[in-house]
């Protein structure tokens, strides 16, 4: 049970992650790698659950070790729930004690509703929604078993609120992540587990660069619609990530932080 009388820590330590261990899915992606690096720079060690044969995994390991932190990696296709559960068992069997979960694995398959095949729908839902649920479930159950507090950070999207077009399956999953975050927080706050999500807007990553090449008009559209007048960069997510991972957010749960340069407000 969570204590009703929190212990005051010095303000200088509010954003420190010294001695903490982060388990991350999607840590090799354009957003995930920056978020993992930010937490490592703040003192955390990283456990990376990465896709099979992911060429970006060595780069993530180099980044984390480059700031003097440890990284342990486990290969897993998160779209397969049983594989994901087995991977968490391997993590626990390795003696890793969890503190923070970054649920960042995600993908998209753009297309009009009538073009979405079962294969596309199943993959998007398996990675973006069910894998997020299973990872949070396995992580939280271990914390409860150990009697430890912890943090779960899910990655939702601007499309959790504004569905837009040609992203019907993706938007459905990201709306689900938003509600899942609230549901988990309702049940697990009593255990000292905070469950929140970050909702990025349009962020420049290798994947979005590819999309802009396919739809050149998007570059100007995003800039014109965003009050900040630019696309976001992965490093723009660092502040929200650290806040939700560190002691500064110990009384924040079941909520979302939108990082979109003001787009949703326009």
Active site residues: 170
Q: What is the CA radius of gyration of the chain?
A: 18
| β-bridge pairing 193-200 and 150-155 | parallel
Cβ neighbors of 242 (< 8 A, separation 6 or more) are 15, 17, 38, 39, 42
Beta bridge partners of 200: 259
Burial 35-62 (b: 16+ CB within 10 A, else e): bbbbbbbbbbbbbbbbbeebebbeebbe
The number of helices, as runs of H, and strands, as runs of E, in the chain is: 9, 7
Taking the CB of residue 230, how many other CB atoms lie within 10 A of it? 12
The pair of three-digit structure tokens given for residue 130, joined into one six-digit string: 């069910």
């Amino acid at each position: 049970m969570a204590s009703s009388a929190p212990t005051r820590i010095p303000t200088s330590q509010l954003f420190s992650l010294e001695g903490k261990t982060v388990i991350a899915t999607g840590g090799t992606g354009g957003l995930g790698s920056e978020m993992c690096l930010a937490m490592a720079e703040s003192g955390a060690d990283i456990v990376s659950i990465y896709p099979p044969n992911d060429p970006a995994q060595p780069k993530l390991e180099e980044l984390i070790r480059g700031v003097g932190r440890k990284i342990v990696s486990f290969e897993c296709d998160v779209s397969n729930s049983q594989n994901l559960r087995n991977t968490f068992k391997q993590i626990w069997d390795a003696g890793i004690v969890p503190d923070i979960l970054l649920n960042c694995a995600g993908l998209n398959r753009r297309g009009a509703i009538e073009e979405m095949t079962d294969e596309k729908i199943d993959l998007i839902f398996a990675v973006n929604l069910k894998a997020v649920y299973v990872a949070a479930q396995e992580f939280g159950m271990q914390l409860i078993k150990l009697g430890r507090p912890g943090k779960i950070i899910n990655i939702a999207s601007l499309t959790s609120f504004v569905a837009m077009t040609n992203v019907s399956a993706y938007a459905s999953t990201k709306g689900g992540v938003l509600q899942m975050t609230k549901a988990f927080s309702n049940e697990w706050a009593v255990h000292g587990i905070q469950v929140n999500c970050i909702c990025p807007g349009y962020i420049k990553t290798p994947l979005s660069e590819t999309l802009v090449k396919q739809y050149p008009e998007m570059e100007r559209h995003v800039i014109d619609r965003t009050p900040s007048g630019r696309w976001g960069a992965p490093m723009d997510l660092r502040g929200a990530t650290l806040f939700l991972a560190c002691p500064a957010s110990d009384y924040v749960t079941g909520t979302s932080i939108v990082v979109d340069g003001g787009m949703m407000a326009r």
